[in-house]
Structure 1
Amino acid sequence: MASTDIVDQWAASQDLPAWFVAALDVPREDSFVEIDGVKVHYLRWGKRGNPPLLLTHGFLAHARCFAFIAPFLAEEYDIVAYDLAGMGESEMVAGCDGDERAQGMVAVAEALDLFSGPVKPKIIAHSFGSGVGLTAMELAGERFGGLIIC
């Protein structure tokens, strides 16, 4: 069963706040990008060309954690939330460590053209993803517009 089917079933069976249901109804791209032969899953909201935000999640979580938050920013930003290697729907990278995950973050931003506009992408990182974001800033801080740690 597709994950959207699960979300729809859950929303229909629960007494959820209208704002939450409305957020899940905001259109998003749900796709994969291949980086060095590895499939990386991502979700994308908003309009390309708007200021980019790159979101990453905590340990053993996934990009869908942002499915009820990102839609509120989608009118003003180009938002990409992706699954870290070996989590969510992304494939695992052999020997994956902090530096490898940070290089992956930069590669995701490159592959999805987040560096191509006039505004540098900002990273929003939660929990475990914060270490990834910090290391990405060490590796390529001049390419990013900042880091917000949650």
Structure 2
Amino acid sequence: MSQKAATSPRPPAPLVQFNGARPPTPDWFLKALDVPTDRGSVSVEDATICWKAWGKRGAPGLILVHGGVAHKDWWDSIAPFLSETRRVVALDLSGMGDSDHRDRYSMATYALEVLAAGQDGGAFEAGKPFLVGHSFGGFVSVATAMEHGDQLAGIAVLDSPIRPSQEQRRSSPPSRGGMIYNSFDAALARFRLLPEQGCENAFLLDHIARQSLKEITRPDGTQGWTWKFDPKLWDKLDYDRPPPADIVDALKTRIALFRGADSRLVNDEVWAFMGDLFGPETTMVSIPNAEHHLILDQPVAVAAGLEVLTGPGWG
């Protein structure tokens, strides 16, 4: 009779050890947070979509799209480095961050949100902008390139696993969120990455976690704290586009691929398939010492890669 292998206990959430205090933060990130930003919102199909931007209007544009159940502040350690010569706009997709929730979500609507936020935020004033998406945001970027790629200078997809069509996941990940916590610190202590992984930059985890929470009033009139994203987001998402591997020829702009070199989602097998799918002329960048959440693991390296990629010499 066989026995199941013992499983290791789930490690504690990464911010528990700080008891609500902010972890030590390096000077480079404090300086990045001091870079001025503009904020605004735009209406897309009856939902308010929030954005923020760095850099001067009229500079070449760059639009940043966060991952699933994330938000625009995930880019705070990257966007400031790119803003000296660019107008950088990051948005909250509907159902996430400060943007409105919807009854239903779709890739077609997310593509419209990307373009509208980019337009409103000033990313199109110098011509066609580049579009960068991490994880779920990478799939949104691919969908945008398929429908509206003629309006873009190119896209960069960061650790979004594109697999053979028959292997591409077409169902939603498990729902999460919806809990109401009695205090901000209690909620903060529950923050975890999805998919879970270690991350040495606790100051970045703390920063994005603090921007992920909102205070609400319970039905009994008491106050509590909960996550900003729609807890039913995945149940309400319509998969209204073919698997990415089936639409490579439909992309109306060029594409570059990034991954964390230690990513469990874009592993060597998936990475090799993506290279074969998009062809030898495609720019492919593996960021060392980074897992799926490469924009948190190695933000300066990612910023440097995007600096070169979105400069005048690419392509």
Q: TM-score interval w.r.t. the shorter chain? A: 0.7 to 0.9
How has the CA–CA distance of structure 1 residues 31 and 103 changed in structure 2, closer, same or farther, with 3 Å as cutoff?
A: closer
Deviations 1:56-115 (A, max 9, x none): 000000000011211111111100000011100000233211122112212222333433
Query: Secondary structure of the equivalent of 1:108?
Result: helix
Query: Secondary structure of the equivalent of 1:60?
Result: coil
Deviations 1:27-83 (A, max 9, x none): 111332223332111110000111100000000000000112111111111000000
1:9 is matched with: none
Greater fraction of residues in helix: 1
Deviations 1:96-148 (A, max 9, x none): 1112211221222233343342x310001000001111011111111100001
Give yes or no for the alignment of 1:108 onto 2:138. no
2:32 is matched with: 23
Q: CA deviation at 1:13?
A: 4.3
2:123 maps to amino acid? L
Q: Give yes or no for contact 2:60–2:125 (8 Å, CA) kept in 1.
A: no
1:147 maps to amino acid? I
Alignment TM-score, normalising by the size of structure 1 = 0.85
1:1-150 matches, within 5 Å, as 13-117=22-126, 119-150=127-158
Alignment TM-score, normalising by the size of structure 2 = 0.42
Unmatched 5+ residue regions in structure 2? Answer: 1-20, 159-315
Distance 2:55 2:124 in 1: 16
2:203 is matched with: none
Alignment RMSD (CA, Å): 1.6
Query: Secondary structure of the equivalent of 1:33?
Result: strand
Query: Secondary structure of the equivalent of 1:32?
Result: strand
Percent of paired sites with the same residue: 35
Query: Secondary structure of the equivalent of 2:49?
Result: strand
Unmatched 5+ residue regions in structure 1? Answer: 1-11
1:120 maps to amino acid? K
1:52 maps to amino acid? G
2:134 maps to amino acid? H
2:296 is matched with: none
2:139 maps to amino acid? G
Distance 1:43 1:112 in 2: 7
Q: Give yes or no for contact 2:60–2:124 (8 Å, CA) kept in 1.
A: no
Name the count of aligned residue pairs.
138
